[in-house]
Amino acid sequence: MPGGEITPDKLIVIGEVAKDFGLYTKITGGQRIDLFGARVEQLPLIWKRLVDAGMESGQAYGKSLRTVKSCVGSTWCRFGVQDSVGMAIALELRYRGLRAPHKLKLGVSGCARECAEARGKDVGVIATDKGWNLYVGGNGGFTPRHAQLLAEDLDDDTLVQTIDRFFMYYIRTADRLQRTAVWMEELEGGLKHLQEVLIADSLGIGADLDAAMARHVDSYSDEWADVLGDPVKLARFSSFVNATDYPDPDLLYVAERGQKRPATPEEKQAVLIAGPALQVRP
């Protein structure tokens, strides 16, 4: 759900899927909805219903773009000076599926009050009266870091092009599992070097980085839909290769706060819960 936007109809489909398959449901900090507790053979059935309703894989499993968090911006907030939701959606649709050395998170705030906490992201965008300020190299996690100001008052196109180049330069030069903050710390020249390469094109690689991102955007496809359309990939979705209709009996759940959660080893000995209705039997 790019931008955290969801129509009532899609929300109803998500709720129906969660009920029908007995899934644990939680709103995430990345402005999405977690659905936990499906068995592997249920995934294609769940994905089909979500894909048919106009949704797609959120790539939450990859070293890739995760979410683009946003506030409501100028559309709904009296302080907003730019459409932060519109920009967040454009960025998420552009970078979805982009594989990288580590996960990538973005944030877009509609004014300097920073309700989207964009400076805690790998790429943070904060609206100004004249355009957008671009911050890079922030993260939460073990060692939280605030992103640093890379460029000020960018128009939409220049903002997107600068983020394109930042991501592609990072993807091509960072070590595996190195997040943007650590990569920037170890980069000779640090922020100043990035400004020279990405904005002044001091290495003459700007057009190459732009073309690489264009190839990514052009080649994107939804991985759920890809699986649903490929019998070979679909065949992998069974708990047991030699008993495809047999669900994994080791997956047991207990009820908590009106939903299910995985049973602890001790609980597995004592309580079994089966099926979406969460019937408890000793």
| Residues making contact with ligand SF4 (CB under 6 A) | 71-73, 77, 79-80, 84, 109-111, 113-115
Shortest Å distance, C-beta 66 to ligand SF4: 20
Six-digit token string for 33? 């909805």
CB of 74 to ligand SF4, least distance (A): 7
CA distance 40 to 4: 26
Taking the alpha carbons at both ends of the chain, their separation in whole angstroms is 40
Taking the complex as a whole, the smallest distance from the CB of residue 108 to ligand SF4 amounts, in Å, to: 9
CA-to-CA distance for 165 and 173, rounded, in angstroms? 12
Q: Position of tokens 């890379």?
A: 150
Nearer to ligand SF4, 83 or 164 (CB): 83
Closer by beta carbon to ligand SF4, 72 or else 191: 72
Among 87, 82, 21, CA closest to 259: 21
Burial zone of 268 (CB within 10 Å; 0-12 exposed, 13-18 middle, 19+ buried)? middle
Shortest gap between Cβ of 116 and ligand SF4 (angstroms)?
6
Contact 33, 55 (CB under 8 A): no
Name which of 124 and 137 has its Cβ closer to ligand SF4: 124
Q: Which is nearer to ligand SF4, 114 or 223 (CB)?
A: 114
27 versus 112: smaller Cβ distance to ligand SF4? 112
Structure tokens at 143: 């060692």
Minimum CB separation of residue 4 from ligand SF4 in Å reads 12
